[in-house]
Amino acid sequence: MANVLVVSLDDKSQWFDQKGQWHSIEQQVTMNTRDGKNIKGSSGAKDGIVRGWVDGRLVFEKTNVRFTDMDYINIDVADFGLYYGGVKNTPYDQHMAIDNMINTGKYVVQKNNFLY
């Protein structure tokens, strides 16, 4: 499987680089509250949340995010992908295996290879 590099907003990088090992990557994204006016000058609160865990260890947290001011804009897509840094193309093929992907509105606990 892939090496995983996590870079936080404070520029602290952490490598999870055990080649051939599976990793659990979890993310929480919570939309900020909005005032309901949906007009120019509306104010969304800076209370949105983005958190990320690798193998159960919190590696990123930001709890003062203002995604939008408009009530009709919501989180409706989960997206992820591989990225090879730098200005050149990757010198070799990149592969990533994904298993047991879940997109849910509540926390899912894994115990004894079962999801609860």
Residue-wise pLDDT for 34-66, tens only, equals: 887 766 777 888 999 988 887 788 888 999 999
Percent of the chain with pLDDT over 90: 8
Residue 65: its pLDDT value, please?
A: 92
What is the C-alpha separation between 55 and 24, in angstroms, rounded? 5
What is the C-alpha separation between 99 and 110, in angstroms, rounded? 13
